[in-house]
């Protein structure tokens, strides 16, 4: 399966190199300011980068993405230590912190760039994503079925610098106060055991 990053040939450390192995998870759950803020606080996560993937245009800008014509989704690329948190646990948080039943929208954000999507980096991730989706559908947590797209990881383009750590740097910005902060509060209450200390 493809695991291509625009600015990095290999973001996963090799256990044989003497460093701790890490794994990459890439997914979109609406505005990346929200998802990045959540996963910045997750134990075992060592890096979160906001960006774009899944489209046709090379090196898209935020303006390109907002036009909704490039096919890209707003996503985050999460680097994590699987010895501390598993991919299945990462997906549990992903599904619990957005609405995976609304096609091409999250709240007031509408367009294919806001779609619920998991971009898998290995057959193992693909299997876990399929099993997690089936389990959650069977549990009928939501009144509608999950519409989350599961597809192979493609080229990842990091978003412009001003998008990175946006909530941390702009907590009093209107969208952050109205949307990101409440989402973060709900996440902290639900996943106390998964918070960085």
Residues with Cβ within 8 Å of residue 98, at least 6 apart in sequence: 29, 30, 34, 35, 106, 116
Q: How far is CA 175 from the centre of its chain?
A: 19
Contact 163, 62 (CB under 8 A): yes
At 183, give phi and psi (nearest 5°): -65, -40
Longest dimension (CA), the chain: 48
Contact 114, 104 (CB under 8 A): yes
31 is catalytic: yes
Whole-angstrom CA distances from 93 to 54, 69, 126 are 22, 29, 17
Contact 31, 176 (CB under 8 A): no
d(CA 22, CA 45): 9
User: Which is catalytic among the residues 31, 34, 66, 176?
Assistant: 31
Q: Which residues are catalytic?
A: 31
């Amino acid at each position: 399966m493809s695991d291509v990053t625009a600015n990095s040939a290999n973001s996963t450390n090799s256990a044989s190199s003497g460093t701790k192995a890490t794994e990459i998870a890439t997914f979109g759950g609406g505005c990346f300011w929200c998802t990045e803020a959540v996963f910045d606080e997750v134990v075992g996560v060592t890096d979160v980068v906001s960006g774009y993937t899944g489209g046709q245009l090379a090196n898209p800008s935020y303006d390109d993405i907002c036009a909704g014509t490039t096919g890209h989704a707003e996503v985050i690329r999460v680097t994590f230590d699987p010895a501390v948190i598993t991919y299945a646990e990462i997906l549990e948080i992903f599904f619990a912190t957005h609405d995976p039943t609304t096609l091409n929208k999250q709240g007031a954000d509408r367009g294919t760039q806001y779609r619920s999507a998991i971009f898998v980096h290995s057959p193992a991730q693909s299997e876990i994503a399929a099993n997690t989706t089936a389990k959650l559908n069977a549990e009928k947590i939501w009144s509608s079925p999950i519409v989350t797209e599961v597809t192979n990881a493609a080229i990842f383009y990091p978003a412009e610098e001003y998008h990175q750590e946006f909530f941390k740097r702009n907590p009093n910005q209107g969208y952050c106060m109205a949307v990101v902060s409440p989402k973060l509060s709900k996440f902290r209450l639900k996943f106390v055991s998964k918070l960085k200390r």
